Amino acid sequence: MAAESAWTMPKGELMKGKKGLILGVANANSIAWGIAQQLAAQGAELAFTYLGEGLERRVRPLAESVDAKLIVQADVTDDASMDAAFAEIEKTFGTIDFVVHSVAFANKNELQGSFVDNTTRDSFLLAMNISVFSFVDVARRASKLMPNGGSMITMTYLGAERAIPNYNTMGVAKAGLEAATRYIARDLGPKGIRVNAISAGAMR
């Protein structure tokens, strides 16, 4: 059964002929999934990534409901996995026009209490690797498939600018992501590739 959202954009052709990659759909409540639905409704052709069998069981039915052209595993912490994923993306599409990056992670045990007391080196580095470096890596790879320019967006949050209780390491990672976005935009702008971070409101 096709996944449903509370609000659906009327179908149109705004994105007809455009091809893009969606990273980070976790379930039907994901911001990335909401974006993907609207892109599909406007005629875009989509590829989705997932990590592991557990997420595949959630992502695949959603992706199939919008006639995804590709559903591929991609571990953003593993270069070989990313090499394989982008090889499949290039094989399927040739070139792409946009990327939606909605990938983030922080150890849930460190998203509470004192940031200073609870943050460990390994968890901090993992959060930065998945939440920040992954966008740098994806931007580098995806830009090679955008000879005619394109667009990349990633997801940030107010916790990048303010110390939000219990956001802790994730807030620091989002601040790093925003800085990375500016540098990526500087480098890719001359190639006609727009790069932006969207600061969405809190979700349940």
Three-state DSSP class for residue 51: coil
HSE toward the beta carbon, residue 129, CA cutoff 13 A: 12
- The yes-or-no answer on residue 50 being catalytic is no
Place of tokens 């379930």: 27
- The yes-or-no answer on residue 167 being catalytic is yes
Decide if 171 contacts 160 (C-beta within 8 A): yes
Per annotation, catalytic residue among 20, 159, 167, 169? 167
Per annotation, catalytic residue among 157, 172, 184, 193? 157
Query: What is the spatial distance between Cα 34 and Cα 29, in angstroms, rounded to a whole number?
Result: 7
Q: Which of 193, 200, 114, 109 lies closest to 154 in space, CA to CA?
A: 200
Q: How far is CA 195 from the centre of its chain?
A: 13
Q: Which of 118, 122, 115 lies closest to 175 in space, CA to CA?
A: 115
Please give the positions annotated as active site. Answer: 157, 167
